[in-house]
Structure 1
Amino acid sequence: MPTDEPAAPRTVPDLLDAAVSRDPAATAVVDRDHRISYGELDARSSRLARRLAAHGIVAGTPVLVALPRSVDALVTWWALARLGAVFVPLGPARFPERQAYIAECSAARVGVTSLAERAGLPDTVEWFVHDDTADPGISAPITPRSARPHPDEPVHMAYSSGGTGVPKGIPHTHRTLTTLARAYRSRFRVEPSSLVLHIADPHHDAWLLELLLTFGSAATAVVVPPAVTEGEQLADFIRGARVTHAYLAENELLTLTATDLPDLRHLLLDARDLTEGLAEAWSAIRTLHLSYGVPGTTVTTSGPAGAGHAPTGNSRLIGTPVDGIAAYVLDDELHPVPFGTAGDLYLGGPALPATFHDRPDITSGRHVAIPFTRDAVPVLNTLDRVRWNHTPTGPALEHVEGPFHVHIRHGGRPRS
């Protein structure tokens, strides 16, 4: 039976196409004094994709990206997605050994950077310097648009230590990201009129969260200048830009005043960063979403916090799984534990990556098949212990304990 409802995006380029189709003149990115429409973002990313294709980048190619948070980083992400290539953020130059490790383990032979970032990058890689002024006449979208990547092909692979000290590539497919984009749009009530803070750098998992919050809803990305990190400068920026959605760390929140940001309607905070008084202060005039994530995926569960929502010892309520993610609380023999009993948290579903890149040893150790699920599909052992608990809004997961990477981090998450 015919329907006017558009098909759900199955690939990352579908997300941009949907936003462009909705309103090509709508603002996609605000970066200081520059405003870029969705039509312009499409044209710029398509132009860059043409140039990258001319340099031999094809579907499946891992491409290192050495760019700070910026319009250029967003354009590059979209360009590589158009080509079916894999965006691999390299991280800051002050960690050259980590950069060399990522370059070697990802098997990337080509990268994208800027003139400002070029010095000191791994010389095993052929670096393409991003210059959007080149070939200004080529602004039409890539053709043919029918040459789409497959939903289960990788599109983004950041490296995370995940508490082990050894960075591991975590490949997100088009399917995982479009599933997360739909889940975040629904859970955090993002609309085309929303203004989403972009304060994380591309090598952080939170950058991907901010990107999906924005482009999964045809909203606007508001890029924070590199010099703005916290305090009154950050408050002035958020207030002046009228930001409506943000994911912030505890150390950033502690330098801000909740009542000074009237347009900020939805605030996301890692529940493990929650300290005494934060929930009461920040939930009074907005929705405070306490979240929990795993390496590669910043938000896998979340729940609203209220004035009476205070941390108890090391326990933190972390809400319920977002759409596309299933949570299992199991004992040592991989059987479900009773409600209220602590057990190991396993996560699965189409919104989560299923492997670690080129690490079958870690994949087989962390992704295990649990017998009572359909087809015994492997799920991720988070290494955390949780229990289901009753709350005023219904059952929610409570984080009890876990390894180093999930404990409260003094000073919050570093941004670069």
Structure 2
Amino acid sequence: MTTNLIAQDDDPLARFLQSVEAAPDRAAVQSADASVTFADLAAWVADLAGALRDRGVRRGDHVGVCLERGVGLVAALLAVWSAGAAYVPLDPRYPDERIAFMIQDSGLRLVVAADDRPTRLADVEVITPVASGSTGEPVSVTPADAAYVIYTSGSTGVPKGVIATRGGVASLLHRLEAVGAYPDGHRVVGWNASASFDASVQQWARVCRGDTVVVLDEEQRRDPARFGAALAEHGITDIDATPSHWEAVEQGVTAPALRLFLGGEPVSTALWRRLDAAKEAGRVEAFNLYGPTECTVDSTAGPIEGTEPHIGPPLPGVEVHVLDDRLAEMPVGVTGELYISGPAVARGYVNRPGLTAERFVADPFAGAGRRMYRTGDEVRWRADGTLEFVGRADRQVKVRGFRIEPGEVEAAIAGYRDGCAAVVVARADDLVAYCVGDPDLDELRDHVAALLPAHAVPARFVRIVAFPLTVNGKIDFSLLPEPDAGATRADGRRPEGEYEELVAGVWAEVLGQDRVFADDDFFALGAHSLMAIRVVARVKKELGVALSIRDVYRRPMLRDFAEFVQSAHADVTSAAGR
């Protein structure tokens, strides 16, 4: 099924510069500690782009950006584009080994980072986002030039970098404007996704069309009351979230007429119906968005209304096909695999020609030279022209919006020691690892947390004697046991002392339990990474101690985590007294 193609000869950077001319004094980006106008942001971008060119950056190069979300990150991303290059986001929260691989794989020789001498970036040249250089006009590019490289989970255990194009980003803005998702006029947009997550592109890049982007910090993202307060304080009109994230914070939202964009994972029927009711009441107008990273964020979209979830029709400029294994079109109501073509399809994977050829295939419905992306998602047409998401054709899973290949997690577990192996599955909103080889599960969790992003670390590790097999010798996933729900024990040791009691109170609130005990394991109680982030935010609020989500993963036992919090608080208190 085809919709009208959109001309995409306007580069997103060109749109940004037009927005600067139209409203130079308007706030472009705001965060808790900084705010910058369009004019000042443009000057910052020009200075930093000059510094990049002075360091030898040329059209088509890849430049790493290792910064927290904020004003400086937006300046850096636009400056990389101005220099004619593509940015590679390196999330500062990622493990050192993950960042080292991305640097090597994408061929980075230069990284923009907050500190020009970070040990984790010792093998590359580093400049700060405030570096300035010679002036000059932005480097001319074409729609086919690379805009960014975002790494996703790989089924073989090796992450793969997706090369999206400048034309793809330009058409992303056009696609959502064309269906009214982005209405005319100035909007205030909340930015809550990591730059390493492709959903961030449709958040921070809204600055290119003249919208104000407001950065939500980690506490604001996860705490319902702070989330709602941030929306009201900044007058945020548009916000993106995964369904699981929205369900965690929606109770704190009171702002009327909010425009909500959901994506990254299926919307449950219950949430769909709540949002339909909210639309009828004039509180929230919600859209369900679908699209793989390989097709520049969003490929289909539809308003959330009615009673049954769907992922909408294809967006303008996107051609979709629902095909069987012989590439024959499937009729309405019959499940097939979704293929996507059009200008937003990415160039392929970095240094993975075989995988690129496997997933980006010749388009038999178009002229020579055009490709379509094989998504691996199973869908079916509905009679009203929308698509219904059915599931995956392979083992890939989505957990709280992040695309995860179980094979990558299994490979990390296998590296723990000889004889250790695992099968990883998604259970509700959690990853669960079923392990053989009698590993020490606490050590194993630490090992995996040091290799993978926090969202890819299983919430539960379950020791089993052997993998259940089918008669054909394959793993029988249906026979994997349900993980222990981990209910608190009636005879557990009660928390003792200020720090154990404080942590126990935080855990109980986050987990929604009446009480927890000193020997309880946070993740065995059913916690996941979103809950871990809320714990970190609450500890910072109570004690002023800045922890990371990895500190929770490495010390999942309450008594151990409380001891670590006590030590960290002592360090903070001592430093303040000096």
Superposition TM-score tier, normalisation by shorter sequence: 0.7 to 0.9
TM-score normalised by L of structure 1: 0.87
Aligned residue number for residue 313 of structure 1: none
Aligned residue number for residue 168 of structure 1: 160
Question: Distance between the aligned counterparts of 1:59 and 1:271, measured in 2?
Answer: 31
Describe how 1:56-135 pairs up with structure 2 within 5 A: 56-115=56-115, 119-131=118-130
Question: Distance between the aligned counterparts of 1:11 and 1:151, measured in 2?
Answer: 7
Aligned residue number for residue 285 of structure 2: 287
Aligned residue number for residue 12 of structure 2: 12
In the alignment, structure 1 residue 383 sits paired with structure 2 residue 376: yes
1:396 aligned to 386, 392, 398, which one?
Answer: 386
Question: Distance between the aligned counterparts of 1:164 and 1:265, measured in 2?
Answer: 41
What is the Cα deviation at residue 407 of structure 1?
Answer: 4.7
Contact 2:225–2:253, Cα closer than 8 Å, also in 1: no
Aligned residue number for residue 227 of structure 1: 219
TM-score normalised by L of structure 2: 0.63
1:335 aligned to 318, 328, 338, which one?
Answer: 328
Larger Rg: 2
Q: 1:265 to 1:229 in 2, by over 3 A?
A: closer
Contact 1:113–1:128, Cα closer than 8 Å, also in 2: yes
Q: How high is the sequence identity, in percent, across the aligned residues? A: 25
Question: Distance between the aligned counterparts of 2:264 and 2:30, measured in 1?
Answer: 29
Q: Secondary structure at the match of 1:30?
A: strand
Q: Secondary structure at the match of 2:338?
A: strand
Gaps of 5+ in 1: 1-6, 311-316
What is the Cα deviation at residue 271 of structure 1?
Answer: 7.0
1:184 aligned to 158, 164, 176, which one?
Answer: 176
Q: Which runs of 4+ in 1 moved over 6 A?
A: 412-416
What is the Cα deviation at residue 93 of structure 1?
Answer: 4.0
Question: Distance between the aligned counterparts of 2:397 and 2:94, measured in 1?
Answer: 25
What is the Cα deviation at residue 227 of structure 1?
Answer: 3.3
Question: Distance between the aligned counterparts of 1:261 and 1:300, measured in 2?
Answer: 30
Deviates more, 1:41-50 or 1:228-237: 228-237
Q: Once the two structures are superposed, what CA deviation does each residue of 1:307-359 show, in whole Å capped at 9, x if it has no partner?
A: 5235xxxxxx1111222221111111111111221111001100121311221
CA RMSD of aligned residues (A): 2.5
Deviates more, 1:195-204 or 1:260-269: 260-269
Q: Once the two structures are superposed, what CA deviation does each residue of 1:41-62 show, in whole Å capped at 9, x if it has no partner?
A: 1111001111222222222221
Gaps of 5+ in 2: 1-6, 401-427, 431-454, 456-528, 531-548, 550-578
Q: Once the two structures are superposed, what CA deviation does each residue of 1:344-396 show, in whole Å capped at 9, x if it has no partner?
A: 10011001213112211001100111323233621000001111013xxx310
Letter in 2 for 1:176: G
Question: Distance between the aligned counterparts of 2:305 and 2:251, measured in 1?
Answer: 14
Q: Once the two structures are superposed, what CA deviation does each residue of 1:185-234 show, in whole Å capped at 9, x if it has no partner?
A: 2331244421111001111111112123x134311101112332322111
Question: Distance between the aligned counterparts of 2:71 and 2:92, measured in 1?
Answer: 17
Question: Distance between the aligned counterparts of 1:404 and 1:298, measured in 2?
Answer: 21
Letter in 1 for 2:32: R
Contact 2:60–2:84, Cα closer than 8 Å, also in 1: yes
What is the Cα deviation at residue 123 of structure 1?
Answer: 2.3
Q: 1:17 to 1:131 in 2, by over 3 A?
A: closer
Q: Secondary structure at the match of 2:189?
A: strand
Deviates more, 1:257-266 or 1:92-101: 257-266
Contact 1:183–1:323, Cα closer than 8 Å, also in 2: yes
2:241 aligned to 226, 230, 248, which one?
Answer: 248
Letter in 2 for 1:401: G
Contact 2:8–2:167, Cα closer than 8 Å, also in 1: no
Question: Distance between the aligned counterparts of 2:293 and 2:377, measured in 1?
Answer: 12
Decide which structure has greater helix share: 2
In the alignment, structure 1 residue 373 sits paired with structure 2 residue 370: no
Structure with higher RCO (Cα < 8 A, 6+ apart)? 1
Q: Secondary structure at the match of 1:155?
A: strand
Decide which structure has greater strand share: 1
Question: Distance between the aligned counterparts of 1:295 and 1:364, measured in 2?
Answer: 16
2:199 aligned to 171, 192, 206, which one?
Answer: 206
Describe how 1:339-358 pairs up with structure 2 within 5 A: 339-358=332-351
What is the Cα deviation at residue 26 of structure 1?
Answer: 2.0
Contact 2:381–2:387, Cα closer than 8 Å, also in 1: yes
Letter in 2 for 1:155: A
Describe how 1:299-310 pairs up with structure 2 within 5 A: 299-309=298-308
Describe how 1:255-274 pairs up with structure 2 within 5 A: 255-257=248-250, 260-270=253-263, 272-274=265-267
What is the Cα deviation at residue 127 of structure 1?
Answer: 1.2
Letter in 1 for 2:31: D
